[in-house]
Amino acid sequence: MKSLTSKTVCTSVVALATAVSLVGCSPGGSDDSTDGGESVVGVAATPAASPDTDGDAAGSVSAGDRIGALVRLGGPRAGDAGTQDGSSGTRVAALASGSLLVGDLDEVAEGTAKATPVDPDCHSLTAAVDQLVMACGQTVRILDATGRELRSVDAGSPVTAAAAVPDGTVVVTTEGSDKARWFDAAGAERNSEGVSETPSSMLVVGNTRNSSGDSDAQLRVVVLDAAQSSISDLDMDKAQFNASLRAGQGLGTASSGSLADGVVVVSDPRSDQALVYTVTDVVRHTQATVTGPSPWAVLWDSDRQLMWVSTTGDNRLTAYRLSTGTPEPVGHVTTVPDVRYIVDGDGGDLLLVAEDGTRQLIPSSDLPLSD
């Protein structure tokens, strides 16, 4: 089994700087190279191609159109408001070429979700509690939970990523710039700060550490830079950059949960590992584990306190429990080849979507989780 080393796990923080510098700390060599000496800085990691599935994939499998994003609405929420009772109703949004699909988990899996036409240049989707944020060319579009546009922000340059919080604050990154730019509810720019060289996506993450009550979660945004393999923490209340950390040797995808617990999980397909971060007073790297070959799609299942990791090298979805301090595998199922996205429902069901659009819906009853 491959072991974690200081090279694959080590991270360093550069906080409150106008531009982020990510510094490796491996002994006797640069953290910016693979073991073979080839530089990986500036090159985004990619998942390995899957072999044919060995055996039947869990749950139900159906064909579907390719998508470019898959998100769950309704979080992060404060308190322990999960509904692990098998009930349906989780709203999920998927961005396909020229259309936005919004529906419950079953509808997106079966291809019956409501489809709203969108511009072909719409390329990214971020969940913003009960809203959606979609990047389309130079415009950021804020949508309600049905896909209806509420307002828009003109960024003036092609948008690479965007996120929003309920008070109307929107944060945007654009092509060719290392800056994050904050806009208020009226569309006026509040601030801009250097964050990372090539921002590629964002996540909203909540925490109750600095909240005044159980129903009042503080919302932060993390900026992911796949090419630089970094994760950066943005304060949405103060419209400022807090800190950045290295995310292994090749950031794949990341996930925050439906509860405001401050957890973000990240895959690193270059090092065959999954990483755990907390975003509370500042972003911290807290845990890491070796995975199967080529981890890609990940999910932080905050209702069950599990990290799900899909590995394309062996078509396997594995659940890890984090409560022991070191992530502990507690069960796995077989997946379809080339999984790219995972989302969970209130009832505990999981929806996986493959690179070719294949949907795999796994009922919670089919998930082999040990106690």
Domain annotation covers residue 16: no
The CATH number of residue 124's host domain is 2.130.10.10
Domain annotation covers residue 315: yes
Cβ(243)–Cβ(193) below 8 Å: no
pLDDT in tens, the chain (371 residues): 333 333 333 333 333 333 333 333 332 333 444 554 455 778 999 999 999 877 799 999 999 999 999 999 987 766 544 433 333 468 999 999 999 999 999 999 999 999 999 999 999 999 988 899 999 999 999 999 999 999 999 999 999 999 999 999 999 999 999 999 999 999 999 999 999 999 999 999 998 876 555 557 889 999 999 999 999 999 999 999 999 999 999 999 999 999 999 999 999 999 999 999 999 988 999 999 999 999 999 999 999 999 999 999 999 999 999 998 899 999 999 999 999 999 999 889 999 999 999 999 999 999 988 65
Domain annotation covers residue 21: no
> What's the length of the chain?
371
Domain annotation covers residue 255: yes
**Alpha-carbon Rg of the chain, whole angstroms?**
19
Angstrom distances, CA of residue 19 to CA of 137, 182, 229: 25, 16, 15
Q: Which residue has the tokens 């429990």?
A: 321
Amino acid at 209: R
- Retrieve residue 71's tokens: 């998100």
41 burial type by CB count under 10 A (0-12 exposed, 13-18 middle, 19+ buried): middle
Distance (Å, whole) CA 312 – CA 1:
17
Give Dmax (Cα) for the chain.
Answer: 55
pTM for the model stands at 0.87
Residue 301's domain spans which residues?
67-366
Domain annotation covers residue 104: yes
Of 72, 107, 58, which is closest to residue 346 (Cα–Cα)?
A: 72
Distance (Å, whole) CA 354 – CA 341:
7
Domain annotation covers residue 57: no
Residue 358 has what pLDDT?
A: 97
Domain annotation covers residue 214: yes
Residue 8 has what pLDDT?
A: 36
Q: What is the pLDDT of residues 218-275, one digit of tens each?
A: 899 999 999 999 999 999 999 999 999 999 999 999 999 999 999 999 999 999 999 9
Amino acid at 156: G
- Retrieve residue 306's tokens: 């599990």
Residue 313 has what pLDDT?
A: 97
Strand duo 131-136 + 122-128: pairing: antiparallel
Q: How many domains does the chain have?
A: 1
Residue 288 has what pLDDT?
A: 97
Domain annotation covers residue 300: yes
